[in-house]
């Protein structure tokens, strides 16, 4: 009986350790994602402010359209790059959060 209790106690401790490691990964990833979003937002605001200044200084309608077209193209490219980067951050987070539980899943999976 004592051996079974010790096994349950060890398994409980191991589960708690894995959960705490997973929460640690969540915290770290959350900070990285928040910093990335803040940096992107700041850069996006600065870029749009510069474009607004250029638009206000445009001498003709054609020049204004050209400025707006260039901005739309660069904003789209930057957004797509940021979306890819955020996707990679989320994928990395998922892997790190799952890592502490890999051993338990391997034990629970039927062997082939």
| pLDDT tens, residue by residue, 32-78 | 999 999 999 999 999 999 999 999 999 999 999 999 999 999 999 99
The pTM score is 0.70
Mean of the per-residue pLDDT values of the chain: 86
Distances (CA, A) of 31 to 20, 25, 80, 104: 17, 10, 21, 27
Report the range of poorest mean pLDDT among 8-22, 33-47, 86-100: 8-22
CA–CA dist 96, 33 (Å, integer): 14
Distances (CA, A) of 101 to 1, 12, 21, 58, 104: 27, 13, 9, 59, 5
Give the residue carrying structure tokens 């992107």.
40
Q: Please count the structural domains in the chain.
A: 1
Judge whether 28 lies within some domain.
Answer: yes
Q: Which two tokens mark 78?
A: 């930057």
Judge whether 8 lies within some domain.
Answer: yes
Judge whether 61 lies within some domain.
Answer: yes
Judge whether 65 lies within some domain.
Answer: yes
Judge whether 109 lies within some domain.
Answer: no
Range of the domain at 20: 2-101
Q: Give the chain's end-to-end CA distance (angstroms, integer).
A: 32
């Amino acid at each position: 009986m004592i051996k079974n209790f010790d096994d349950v106690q060890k398994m409980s401790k191991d589960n708690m350790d894995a959960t705490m490691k997973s929460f640690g990964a969540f915290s770290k990833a959350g900070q990285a994602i928040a910093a990335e979003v803040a940096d992107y937002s700041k850069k996006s605001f600065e870029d749009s402010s510069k474009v607004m200044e250029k638009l206000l200084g445009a001498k003709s309608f054609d020049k204004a359209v050209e400025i707006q077209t260039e901005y739309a193209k660069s904003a789209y490219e930057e957004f797509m790059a940021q979306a890819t980067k955020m996707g990679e951050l989320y994928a990395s987070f998922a892997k790190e959060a799952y890592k502490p539980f890999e051993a338990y899943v391997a034990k629970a999976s039927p062997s082939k």
